[in-house]
Amino acid sequence: MSPLLPSRCGVARSANREPPPYRFPADFLWGTATAAYQIEGTQSDDWAAFEQDVIQHRRFEQLAPGKPRPGHIHRLGDYSQEIRQKKTDFDSRIEDDLAMAAAMGHQAYRFSISWARLFPSPAHTEPDPAGLAYYQRIFAALARGRMTAVVTLFHFTSPAWLWQQRAGRRGWERPDALFHWERFVRAVLHHFGEHMPIVCTLNEPMVYVYAGYLDGVFPPHEQRGAPQSVLPLVERLLEAHALAYHLVKADAARRGKSVLVGFAQHTRAFEPLRSRHPLDRVAAAVIERMFIWDFCDAVSSGTLRMTGTFFKKEIPNLRGTQDYLGINYYGRYYIKATPLTEPHFEVLMHDPEAPEADRPSDLGWASYPRGFRVILQEAARRYQLPIYILENGTADARDDDTLRRQLLVEHIHEMWLARRHGADVRGYFHWSLLDNFEWAEGFEARFGLIKVDYQDGFRRTPRPSAGLFSRIIAQSGLDEATCREYGLLSG
């Protein structure tokens, strides 16, 4: 159980007295995750509009690695129109890329379906045939490679037309947003429901809310101020999740199939920068609850509450709408209270006093495998549900990706420990199969097991981590040699 007030942990990974091997059950699902906008050819959606605006006004800056500047996409101008349009050129390589994943031993593939590709205009009452044909290729390639499809219905982007005002609102806040969402979800189910055993309704709703409406680094670039100001949007996303959950379950029941439905929650270990500082500790605790658990609690109980406020609202049909908990984990954030300046805290991506100890990624994010186990155990304690790791990875652009390899092994070890302590973790999806478009960080942050060479016609080259991941899958975990090679036995 996490303590009432977190303190800062001095070690990056957990001790383990049990000797290797650290194995996972035969039905544990290993795979990778991607998202439509990040790898596919551009559709007419809110992010495409943002990209065009960035190019037109030459807004290519960042404040610091990992800290995008609102309204900007880091170094986007360094990439040609062709690259910006094709992203990874996945469109012409679907079959090859997925055959490569299958050949690497991956058993599953998480991807998202672009709402704008299926419904490019509001006049489309039926999905666009070319859009359907596109996703048919993906499902067919997965079937050929005997890989389980894990489908995300919303991964940050929505059709451009949804951003025209209706009754003074746009995007998810339009009064008719759920009507259009339902049409999209029904279309996906009608055409692909047969092949969707695991569904993720929303990807990281709190990142979407925070980045788009508080921090302003994602469309629609709002900075609404107080966290309470985003509650109507959070409610709408919960309604969208509940609606999708019930549609997917009803579709599966009609087909006589079973399906697991959940959503993906972005998690970090939030720890006080100054361990003994009570305000840092309080701020870290409040942020963790608000950012990670409030949304999950709402889905579990049916009532949305916001930590630190008296807000409480029941959302119809929401209670218990998750069959599993989807966890995305990306390391540690340090919280520093700043009582005299809004918003009264600062988020640090690594400790500026001791950066080496944090092994920062190319984005400056502190690596913290131990936090992974802590979050998984906390999730298991809170909800007693199966858990799927829907994302975990790091930005490491090097051809010999030593950081990615090290972290891969350490996180799998922590996941094994979490299972040992009762967390029912059933699958692990590495972010990501390929280098891709990392939102406001542009093409610079490289998360792929497979490198994409943008200067050489999108050429694919597996990094050493791809081979390591294949070995881990083949051995259903970590054998002694791997543990030794990556220093797990030394401390």
Two tokens at 77? 């101008």
* Minimum CB distance to ligand BGC, residue 92 (Å): 22
| DSSP state letter for 159 | B
CA–CA distance, 27 with 303 (Å, rounded to integer): 34
* Minimum CB distance to ligand BGC, residue 101 (Å): 17
Tell me the backbone φ, ψ of residue 64, rounded to 5 degrees: -165, 165
| Alpha helices for 33-166 (secondary structure H) | 36-39, 46-57, 81-86, 94-103, 115-118, 129-144
* Minimum CB distance to ligand BGC, residue 269 (Å): 15
| Alpha helices for 60-128 (secondary structure H) | 81-86, 94-103, 115-118
Q: Which helix (H) or strand (E) holds 314?
A: strand 312-314
Is residue 145 within 8 A of residue 96, CB to CB? The reply is no
Nearer to ligand BGC, 8 or 430 (CB): 430
Q: Which helix (H) or strand (E) holds 236?
A: helix 231-255
* Minimum CB distance to ligand BGC, residue 264 (Å): 7
* Minimum CB distance to ligand BGC, residue 432 (Å): 7
Is residue 138 within 8 A of residue 191, CB to CB? The reply is no
* Minimum CB distance to ligand BGC, residue 65 (Å): 13
Nearer to ligand BGC, 22 or 469 (CB): 469
Residue whose C-alpha is closest to residue 90's, from 151, 135, 153: 135
* Minimum CB distance to ligand BGC, residue 38 (Å): 6
Nearer to ligand BGC, 33 or 483 (CB): 33
* Minimum CB distance to ligand BGC, residue 228 (Å): 24
How many CA atoms, within 13 angstroms, populate the side-chain half-sphere of residue 94? 18
Nearer to ligand BGC, 135 or 443 (CB): 443
Nearer to ligand BGC, 294 or 435 (CB): 435
Nearer to ligand BGC, 282 or 296 (CB): 296
* Minimum CB distance to ligand BGC, residue 93 (Å): 19
Question: How many CB atoms neighbour CB 365 within 10 A?
Answer: 22
CA–CA distance, 145 with 460 (Å, rounded to integer): 19
Nearer to ligand BGC, 117 or 266 (CB): 266
Distance between start and end Cα atoms, the chain: 24
* Minimum CB distance to ligand BGC, residue 340 (Å): 31
Q: Which residues make up the interface to ligand BGC (CB under 6 A)?
A: 35, 203-204, 207, 266, 328, 391, 431, 438, 447
Tell me the backbone φ, ψ of residue 110, rounded to 5 degrees: -100, 130
- 3-state DSSP: the chain helix, strand, coil percent, rounded to 5? 40, 20, 40
Nearer to ligand BGC, 281 or 430 (CB): 430
Two tokens at 88? 């990874």
Residue 110 C-alpha from the chain's centroid: 11
Nearer to ligand BGC, 30 or 447 (CB): 447
Nearer to ligand BGC, 416 or 447 (CB): 447
Q: Which residues contact 61 (CB under 8 A, 6 or more apart)?
A: 69, 72, 74
Is residue 280 within 8 A of residue 335, CB to CB? The reply is yes
